Amino acid sequence: QVQVEESGGGSVQSGGSLRLSCAASAYPHTAYITGWFRQAPGKEREGVAVLDSYGFANYAEFAQGRFTISQDNAKKMVYLQMNNLKPEDTAIYFCATGAFYGSGAPPPLTAEMDYWGKGTLVIISS
């Protein structure tokens, strides 16, 4: 069983930055994908950014140009750097991982994830 734990959430003003961290106890497979997702109050969960073990990333339109996903394979850590944050970015952010066989193209935000963290709360005030 893979354990996933997020950290780094908090409250910042609009225009500020946060870096979320995700620690995995193990990777689910030699080929895998990790991603960040979020759920705002009253809304469905949505994909933010994903990154596969081949280094290919994909971002939601709202995240492009503001958010960056990265990973440290040796530490089994995944990060989400969020800049120029807006009040509409307020949500619980979840990290997840799963087995994934990439095709050399940016992975889909809808890729199946097998293991999920409990989330970290991000609040952006105007």
> pLDDT (tens digit, 9 = 90+) per residue, 44-94?
999 999 999 999 999 999 999 999 999 998 899 999 999 999 999 999 999
Count H helices and E strands in the chain, helices first: 0, 11
- Cβ(66)–Cβ(92) below 8 Å: no
d(CA 121, CA 123): 7
> pLDDT (tens digit, 9 = 90+) per residue, 23-33?
999 888 888 99
d(CA 78, CA 42): 27
d(CA 21, CA 77): 7
- Cβ(109)–Cβ(60) below 8 Å: yes
